Structure 1
Amino acid sequence: MGPLAGLRILDLTTVVMGPYATSVLGDLGADVIKVEAPGGDPIRRVGPSRSGAMGPMFLHANRSKRGIVLDLKTAAGRDALLRLAATADALVHNLRPRAMERLGLGYAALAEANPRIVYANACGYGQDGPYADRPAYDDLVQGACGIPALMARSGDDGPRYAPVNIADRAVGLHLAIALLAALRHRDRTGQGQSVEVPMFETMASLVLGDHLGGLSHLPPSDEGGYARLLAPMRRPYATADGHLCVLIYDDRHWRAFLPLARGAALEGDERFATQRGRTAHSTAFHQAVGEVLATRRTAEWTDLLGAADIPFAPMHDLNTILDDPHLTAVGFFETSQHPSEGAVRSMRLPTRWSGSPPSPALPAPGLGEHTEEVLSEIGLGGREGTA
């Protein structure tokens, strides 16, 4: 059942951000109904697929949902959605608000059908600003909030995007949190409302939380940026046979590391004696530590650092992480049979619950798989409104 059992959420989102948010809610027990246009969510066709309509990102971001097809450009499709909305707790979409208004599905129309509904808009930019009507994608938002510039400042490769849809997924979590908070307010007061979750502003707050630095002061006390995160040598260290992620963060870690350095001239180096000094001389510090770590094999350092309680972690790639002993022990990867894709590896929920443990309820749906089932629940026969 899961802790969110009893909530019904209409999911009109596509691609990554919105579907990721609603998959989290579905995994937690909500009845999420994914509403797709007749052509389907475009992310269905991204990446390898056995069926041709179930790429890996779609597969993972749309589990625990029922899937229906409605053509919202038709009167029948719009009416079917409004009838569904009358039975729902929330509707989530990532269309630009003016597009929803043109469809006759703005907040006022939904609130007329259901005054208690929470209407969540996952938009690119806040609707009061000059960027309101611009399209937004992960790369664009990363650039606008400074991630490529920070990448360039921390290395010699020039500006580049983080190789993860970090904006989509971070903002997706904010979307899920905001929706649940609005539902909590609704439960207390009986009042539904419209909630706007803009990608740009959300990611700007995330990035600047680390890097606003002295620009927080008026007048500024420095040029901003968290020096430790921007250190050019902040990267996994090479060992004698591979790489290892090591973080000598505080003075206790440094004192524990010195006996492992085997004669390296680090003990008396005053530059590294304090955390402030190690940050101020970060390039020289990382070089010195790197020279020490290169003298032993990864397995040997794993034993030594573990015994000294110095933070470290393996540097996995996309294949080795599948065999990580910790993830294996906690049962992180699960194998299931998908109706169209066959055997599928997926990730279980990362959280653990003592009283109401949730779990994925359904595999990602085929296009329109549950249309008849869902429409019949609101008294519509066949596939009314699907085309």
Structure 2
Amino acid sequence: MTALADLKVIDLSESVAGQYCSRLMSGYGADVVLVEPPGGSQVRQLGPFSKLHGDSTTFYHLNIDKRSVVLDAERDFARLKAMCAAAHVVLVPRGDLVDRLRDPAGKTVFCRISDFGEYGPYAGWQGGEMVHQALSGIMYYNGRTGEAPLFGVGHRVQHVAGVGAYTAVLAALRTGAGELIDIDVHKTAASMSYNLPNQYFYSGTFDERNGTKYNPDLLIRARDGWVTVFVYAYRWPAMCEALGLSALRDHPDFQTQVDRLARWDQVSEQASAAAKDITAADLVMLLQSLGVPAAASLTPEELANSPHLAARKYWKSAQTDAGERRAFGAPFRLSQACWRAENALTTEEDASS
């Protein structure tokens, strides 16, 4: 059983956020048609690119179990409008296309996804992941003291905006009123900027990157990789026990969390020295057995071969012209309805289908 099998979706979004939103719908059974302009969706140009298949792996994973139709929105506008009128949900980019396609009296839910929305000083700006992370304040707080702001890799803001669009669409479908939803990635990025705006709203202050250590997160260099550990104050003795650091545990300069954080570089150096002959996997198992939160920092290869994800049956396979190809599984699970990851994007010649 699939949860959204009765849902017909037209995706004109031309963004990671939009195509991730419709991927969440196709995963749970919706009939999704990706309408691409002549030359293909611009998401096809986003890396990384598969060494085996030559295509954008971003585009591939976003568009499993969808159908693709190549259509010139201006030359074939009547056909496009008919397709949208027959759909339950239409995802559109910024601009007046939604006004031309949408019947305000109809029941089709339209979701407009853009970088900065339809109005405001930045409305006409070009976005991009780095731009959104910069404008949201996320980059300002990332990086070392005195150095440039640090960009966090990946399309993280776009994916969160896609989840927001998915949630909004499902809520709008409940009203039966043909809602027009606006999702802009910039607001999504601002909502991801941790607790920093709240501090400013409350006290008018904010923290500079001054080298002060606030969180007891620790990176330990083991024999064959890095292990990340979060050393809560009440887990400090257990962490020292695991690594044989009783002298550090008992030293008067390391008796409180504030004292330890002020000397965190020394903690890191001694912990890594103690772990130099221990494998990352063994160190993690030892720390976890003592109740200390720890995990190995996995490479992509290690993640792909994670025994936990395999046991949870996370990875799926989609059929392509070249045979089976690995695919991501469901980001969440329903107890009855299954997640689809069966076929790569299929192209249809006739846009009227």
Give yes or no for TM over 0.5.
yes
Q: Encode CA deviations 1:128-149: one digit per residue, 9 max, x unaligned.
A: 3110111211121112112332
Q: In the alignment, is the contact (CA less than 8 A) between 2:114 and 2:185 conserved in 1?
A: yes
1:1-387 matched pairs, under 5 angstroms: 1-46=1-46, 47-48=49-50, 54-74=55-75, 77-94=76-93, 96-97=94-95, 101=96, 105-107=97-99, 109-112=101-104, 115-152=106-143, 154=144, 158-186=148-176, 191-207=177-193, 209-212=194-197, 214-220=199-205, 222-223=206-207, 234=217, 236-248=219-231, 250-269=232-251, 272-275=254-257, 278=260, 282-294=264-276, 296-339=278-321, 341-365=322-346, 369-372=347-350, 375-376=352-353
CA distance, structure 2, for counterparts of residue 310 and residue 63 of structure 1: 39
- 3-state secondary structure, aligned to 1:335: strand
Identify if the C-alpha distance between structure 1 residues 197 and 350 changes in structure 2 by more than 3 Å, giving closer, same or farther.
closer
Q: TM-score, normalised by structure 1?
A: 0.80
Which deviations, in whole Å up to 9, do the C-alpha atoms of 1:203-248 show, x marking residues without a partner? 11111x333353131443x5378999876x9563201343212222
Q: Which runs of 5+ in 1 are unaligned?
A: 377-387
The farther-off stretch of 308-317 and 210-219 is 210-219
Partner of 1:382: none
Q: For residue 129 of structure 1, what is the amino acid of its counterpart?
A: G
Tell me the CA shift for residue 28 of structure 1: 1.4
Change (3 A) 1:29 1:337: closer
The 1:247–1:184 alpha-carbon spacing in structure 2 relative to 1, beyond 3 Å, is: same
- The aligned amino acid for 2:200 is L
Deviation track 1:299-320 (CA, whole Å, cap 9, x = no partner) reads 4323321321211112211122
Q: Whole-Å Cα distance in 2 between the matches of residues 210 and 293 of structure 1?
A: 34
Q: Distance in 2 between matches of 1:151 and 1:289?
A: 24
8 Å CA contact 2:213–2:261 kept in 1: the answer is no
Structure with more of its chain in helix, by fraction? 1
Q: Is the 8 A contact 1:63 1:363 kept in 2?
A: yes
Q: 1:45 to 1:216 in 2, by over 3 A?
A: closer
Answer yes or no: is the 8 Å Cα contact 1:333–1:345 preserved in 2: yes
Instruction: Quote the sequence identity (%).
Output: 23
Residue 354 (structure 1) shift? 1.7
1:155-194, Cα deviation, whole Å (9 max, x unpaired):
57532321211121121111211221222233xxxx1121
Matched to 1:244, the amino acid is V
Question: Cα gap change, 1:309/1:44 in structure 2, threshold over 3 Å: closer, same or farther?
Answer: same
CA contact 1:107–1:119 (8 Å) conserved in 2:
no
Contact 2:320-2:343 within 8 A present in 1 as well: no
Letter in 1 for 2:192: L
CA distance in 2, matches of 1:41, 1:317: 30
Which of the pair has the greater relative contact order for Cα pairs under 8 Å at 6+ separation?
A: 1
Distance 1:235 1:252, change over 3 A: closer
Q: CA deviation at 1:323?
A: 1.7
Query: Is the contact made by 1:213 and 1:224 (CA closer than 8 Å) also made in structure 2?
Result: no
Structure 2 unmatched ranges of 5 or more = none
Aligned residues of 1:214 and 1:223 also touching (Cα < 8 A): no
1:288–1:44 CA distance, 2 compared to 1 (3 A): same
The offset of 1:12, in angstroms, is: 0.4
Mapped partners of 1:216, 1:287: distance in 2:
38
Letter in 1 for 2:352: L
